[in-house]
Amino acid sequence: MAYETVVGLEVHVELATKTKLFCSCRTDFGDEPNTNTCPICLAYPGTLPVLNEAAVALALKAALALNCEITRETKFDRKHYFYPDLPKAYQVSQFDRPLGRNGYVDIEVDGEKKRIRIERLHLEEDAGKLIHTPGGTLVDFNRGGVPLIEIVTAPDIRSGKEAAAFLTELRAILAYAGVSDVRMEEGSLRCDANVSVRPVGETRFGTKTEIKNMNSIGSVERAIEYEAARQMEVLAQGGTIVQETRRYDEARRVTVGMRAKETSADYRYFPDPDLVAFTIPEAWIEEIRESLPELPDARRKRYVEEFGLSSYDARVLTQEKAVGDFFEAAVAHGGDVKAIANWMMVEVLGYLNKEQKSIDAVPMTPAHLSRLVRLIEDGTISGRIAKEIFPEVIATGADPEALVREKGLVQIQDAALLEAVVKRVLEANPKSVADYLAGKEKALGHLVGQVMKETKGKANPGLANALLKKALEARRGAGGA
Amino acid sequence: MAAYGDLLEERIPDLRRRLETGELAPEALLEAALERIAAVEDRIESFIALDPDAARRRAAALSEKRRRGEALGALYGIPAAVKDNIAVAGLPMTAGSRMLEGFLPPDDAVVTERLLAADAVIVGKANLDEFAMGGSTETSAYRTTKNPWHPDRVPGGSSGGSAAAVAAREVWYAIGTDSGGSIRQPASFTGIVGFKPTYGRIPRTGVVAFASSFDTVGVLARTVEEAAIVYDALHGFHPSDTTSLPRDREPVAPTLGRDVRGLKVAVPTFWLVGLHPDVRARTEEALRVLEGLGAIVEPVDMPHLAYAEAAYTILTMGEAASNLARFDGLRYGRRFSDARDLAALYAETRARGFGREVKRRVLLGTYFLSAGRYEDMYVRAQKVRTLIRRDFERVFADYDLVAGPTVPTPAFPLSERLSDPVAMYQSDRLTSPANLAGLPAVSVPAGFSAEGLPIGLQLVGDVAEDALVLQAAYAYQAATEHHRRRPAL
């Protein structure tokens, strides 16, 4: 029997506010444990929450960037459960009036476009973090009270690849909107997946499992693929799926059962009496909507229409806002757009990937990239020389033009100078000359290569080619006479 | 010392004048209070914690302040008690519970800051029902406060320590909290004035939460004028409590004495049934006094008052279960367990740290919020709350005040209702509606039962009409002598 995979994602994203959701403690990642805490976020008796308006603004921005409808009459609710990382023993969250509803993200997988619906987006506070040591379990409350948005998708995802595409796009949108630094490795973006399978054609959902502990987009993709295959195997063997929470083990690349969910937890939600219900002014929503920058999808369309790039190239260049910004700045400094795009995708991204750096962290400026491309265009240097000096340009921020002069790499454009080299090469390679004259045109390539070698790459390849041809044809004429 | 005895019967405005001129020193007034406390405290047991040395240092510092010629606050040098669910930095805060035994709050509550900014002297922390849950102060884990009028009667609760301390002349005023009557009911039982302002008038920051949407900080004093002076020093918005309200348009104390002629007073018929005969009689007399002052007193029907108690019970217990979930012994307070297992650690600490009444309410509150019960119980109770608010709105469209008795009975005997929670909850029947609707309300002495136990008259105003409530109570008090009688101690 053929099965299809059905996936819904729950994504938690830490908002990029300076302070926590209900107190003025800082939200910085990686500080000494329990230094960013106060009586409010430690739930001392008598403390009261004061809502951080900046967090509401960022959550609204995220909701609008994800095409959600805004719930203007909204409120906070308490979600109760006992755990040492939750000092009040309730999490302030939103139950039946989430800030955003009915949004979507469009993705593209293997050339196919697809819309993934977002059911809800709500604002809540993060819990602290447990640190297990041989001596016992410790709690770090620095993260406790940091503002989070929880984004819940409809069960529209059909594969690990689609989930990865969704997360990649979601990450890009949220980064573009500036609502979060979306770093999965630091936990500022976390994802759980509800996975089930069902026979193709079936409209009811199968029993789902919830997969946790996926620390990268790649591991979300692998975990879903593994889990779907596992469930299909269980069903093929005549077994049934147990509704449970499973942990993804990245090292072994398997999911492992954690606890069975016999009954759903009763969180006893009720409206938080310390935080009065409030109405979001229409004008505020409009102000935030207008403050949204161009989002990845719009930028991609513009790259295709305005710059004539392929949709693939447009996608690569817009994945990260900073990369797109760099590209556009370089284009603004002049040079062939497609050439700049190619340099960005091959050399720049290749370097960043190899060095594990972000584009903001390299000394090279967009002006440098533009100049490098223009040096090739005006014949000052060859593409080969450009590639040779590129690592130095990107790593040190050296001006390509100065570098070319300093190293004496300016292309030989003077025919008189090159003619001497051509003569020497023809004399030193009688076999190639004979081959060419015998009709083996390919021999010309070897001879050009020799000219380049003699000139240490500085010969203008076009000029060298023309001069060689001319000299060879002259010989053919002489020989025939 | 006879001189001290005289001081105890002086009122705050007179004392304040004498302290300002230097005729009386804060130290001397404090010693009068401490001497009185030493004389009666082992019979009354108003306080959970006393810190005479800190109070003496404070009085000396205030004396110094006067010598430096600085401006002196409205409560300059007047000794006060603060209910022990309100944080005073430097003094332990137990909320009457073993759970918080030895807990030192890191900061002053906002109300404490304001007391100190007004140059008050805090002598100690007053006893209360555990986490303010109770109507007799008997659920305190520490001691049983007695009614100064009768050694075998409860002082009421939950602000029973605050009320007894004022009634026994241990202090001139006290700060309490009122979520369903916890200031007014003990004020009624001990023959003093208890004022619960509009919800939010005095910020809750630093007050241990019982039921957040009900909890209201207020004042207990011997006279309406004194309650108004203290209220003026304490009320107004604070950014740390986003449910708090702005200050009144003008200070209330200077407006006392305004004419109440023509004031329309509504008396809910439901509030005149099921009363102790003496309460009924004193209430009728009090209403006649108001009429004598020119007020128009008329009966009204408020159909949803009969459901107030049920709604109050469900909503406050739900909120309490949530608010008290944080007491797990992990971060502060006492941990009553060495368990290595997390569930056992929670269970043992909460089983041993909380008393019976608190556990009863946490369990019931958890039940009221649980899946399957929530719609039937909690949501329905919220609807009743809305209906009660509307009952008041309707009445206040035509009337200025709602009046009636504060409590259906005079103070009941110690331990009588401790094992009968339903009877205990009954004593909130007439006071909880003002909390359900967030309204300002005062209890003012209205005479005595045949046994000589005090009985209170309750006046309730519309939202933010705190001044009107106090003005009417002042007019009533000016026309009566009940507040002048003192308990034989």
Q: If you average pLDDT over residues B128-144, what whole number do you get? A: 97
Note the pLDDT tens digit of each residue in B8-23. 999 999 999 999 999 9
Q: If you average pLDDT over residues A255-274, what whole number do you get? A: 84
From B438's Cα to the closest Cα of chain A, the distance in A is 13
Report the run of H or E that residue B22 belongs to, with start and end. none
A17 or A424, which is more confident: A17
Is 80 exceeded by the pLDDT of residue A479?
Answer: no
Task: Tell whether B30 is covered by a domain.
Answer: yes
A89: left (phi over 0), alpha (psi -120 to 50) or beta: left
C-alpha A120/C-alpha A8 separation (Å) is 12
Mean pLDDT in chain B?
96
Instruction: Give the per-residue pLDDT at B413.
Output: 97
Q: If you average pLDDT over residues A177-197, what whole number do you get? A: 93
Note the pLDDT tens digit of each residue in A236-259. 999 999 999 999 999 999 999 986
Tell me which residue in A39, A51, A273 faces B319 most closely, judged by beta carbons: A273
Task: Tell whether B87 is covered by a domain.
Answer: yes
Chain B residues within an 8 Å CB radius of A50? 239-240, 242
Is 60 exceeded by the pLDDT of residue B3?
Answer: no
Task: Tell whether B212 is covered by a domain.
Answer: yes
Note the pLDDT tens digit of each residue in A59-93. 999 999 999 999 999 999 999 999 999 999 999 99
Domain A415-480, what fold?
A: Arc Repressor Mutant, subunit A (1.10.10)
| CB A92, CB A76: distance < 8 Å | yes
Q: In percent, how much of chain A has pLDDT > 90?
A: 74
Rounding to the nearest 10 degrees, give the CA dihedral for residues A56, A61, A64, A70.
10
Contact B242 A276 (CB under 8 A): yes
Sorted by where each begins, the domain ranges of chain A are: 3-287, 294-406, 415-480
Tell me which residue in A87, A139, A275 faces B326 most closely, judged by beta carbons: A87
Q: If you average pLDDT over residues B72-81, what whole number do you get? A: 98
C-alpha A194/C-alpha A10 separation (Å) is 8
Tell me which residue in A88, A273, A276 faces B326 most closely, judged by beta carbons: A88
Note the pLDDT tens digit of each residue in B265-320. 999 999 999 999 999 999 999 999 999 999 999 999 999 999 999 999 999 999 99
Burial per residue of A104-143, b for 16 or more beta-carbon CB atoms within 10 angstroms, e otherwise: ebebbeeeeeeebebbbbbbbbbbbeeeeeeeeeebbbbb
Instruction: Give the per-residue pLDDT at A364.
Output: 95
Instruction: Give the per-residue pLDDT at B238.
Output: 98
Instruction: Give the per-residue pLDDT at A348.
Output: 95
Q: Binning pLDDT at 50, 70 and 90, where does residue A192 land? A: very high
Which residue, B386, B385, B397, is CA-closest to B462?
B397
pTM: 0.90
Is 80 exceeded by the pLDDT of residue A409?
Answer: no
Tell me which residue in B86, B208, B366 faces A268 most closely, judged by beta carbons: B366
Note the pLDDT tens digit of each residue in B418-430. 888 888 888 899 9
Q: Binning pLDDT at 50, 70 and 90, where does residue A316 land? A: very high
Instruction: Tell me which of A322-331, A376-385, B34-43, B291-300 is least confident.
Output: A376-385
Q: Write the CATH number for B28.
A: 3.90.1300.10
From A15's Cα to the closest Cα of chain B, the distance in A is 22
Residues 6 or more apart whose Cβ sits within 8 Å of residue B7: B15, B24, B28, B29, B32
Q: If you average pLDDT over residues B195-199, what whole number do you get? A: 98
Task: Tell whether B415 is covered by a domain.
Answer: no
CA distances from A363 to A340, A366, B301 (A): 18, 10, 80
Contact A90 B342 (CB under 8 A): no
Instruction: Give the per-residue pLDDT at A262.
Output: 52
C-alpha A361/C-alpha A319 separation (Å) is 17
Instruction: Give the per-residue pLDDT at A274.
Output: 98
Instruction: Give the per-residue pLDDT at A264.
Output: 65
Q: Binning pLDDT at 50, 70 and 90, where does residue B4 land? A: low
Contact B95 A51 (CB under 8 A): no
Instruction: Give the per-residue pLDDT at B301.
Output: 97
Q: Binning pLDDT at 50, 70 and 90, where does residue A261 land? A: low
Both tokens assigned to A5: 């995979």
| CB B294, CB B263: distance < 8 Å | yes
Q: In percent, how much of chain B has pLDDT > 90?
A: 94
C-alpha A471/C-alpha B268 separation (Å) is 119
C-alpha B203/C-alpha B245 separation (Å) is 8
**The total number of structural domains that make up chain B:** 1
| CB B332, CB B356: distance < 8 Å | no
C-alpha B487/C-alpha A224 separation (Å) is 77
How many CA atoms, within 13 angstroms, populate the side-chain half-sphere of residue B166?
Answer: 35
Instruction: Give the per-residue pLDDT at B2.
Output: 43
Instruction: Give the per-residue pLDDT at B424.
Output: 85
Residue B99 belongs to domain spanning: 2-255
Q: Binning pLDDT at 50, 70 and 90, where does residue A260 land? A: low
Q: If you average pLDDT over residues B131-148, what whole number do you get? A: 97
Is 60 exceeded by the pLDDT of residue B459?
Answer: yes
Residue length of chain B: 489
Contact A46 B109 (CB under 8 A): yes
Number of other residues whose CB lies within 10 A of the CB of residue A247: 17
Q: In percent, how much of chain B has pLDDT > 70?
A: 99
B212 belongs to the catalytic site: no
Probe site for chain A from B328, B374, B379 (most A CB atoms < 10 A): B328
Tell me which residue in B208, B212, B330 faces A273 most closely, judged by beta carbons: B212
Instruction: Give the per-residue pLDDT at B1.
Output: 43
B188 belongs to the catalytic site: no
B322 belongs to the catalytic site: no
Tell me if residue B206 falls in helix, strand or coil.
coil
Q: Binning pLDDT at 50, 70 and 90, where does residue A480 land? A: very low
Instruction: Give the per-residue pLDDT at A187.
Output: 87
Which residue, A294, A227, A384, A375, is CA-closest to A65?
A294
The residue to which tokens 């800030």 are assigned:
A99
Contact B322 A43 (CB under 8 A): no
| CB A224, CB A163: distance < 8 Å | yes
Task: Tell whether B206 is covered by a domain.
Answer: yes
Catalytic residue among B46, B182, B337, B449: B182
Is 60 exceeded by the pLDDT of residue B145?
Answer: yes
From A167's Cα to the closest Cα of chain B, the distance in A is 33
Mean pLDDT in chain A?
92
Q: If you average pLDDT over residues B73-91, what whole number do you get? A: 98
Is 90 exceeded by the pLDDT of residue B340?
Answer: no
Instruction: Give the per-residue pLDDT at A158.
Output: 97
Q: Binning pLDDT at 50, 70 and 90, where does residue B5 land? A: low
C-alpha A63/C-alpha A94 separation (Å) is 14
Contact A51 B370 (CB under 8 A): no
Instruction: Give the per-residue pLDDT at B227.
Output: 98
Q: If you average pLDDT over residues B333-346, what whole number do you get? A: 89
Probe site for chain B from A268, A269, A275, A278 (most B CB atoms < 10 A): A268
From A197's Cα to the closest Cα of chain B, the distance in A is 29
Which residue, B412, B308, B313, B411, is CA-closest to B360?
B313
C-alpha B108/C-alpha B206 separation (Å) is 7
Given the DSSP bridges, would you call strands A244-249 and A209-214 parallel, antiparallel or unpaired? parallel
C-alpha A60/C-alpha A71 separation (Å) is 10
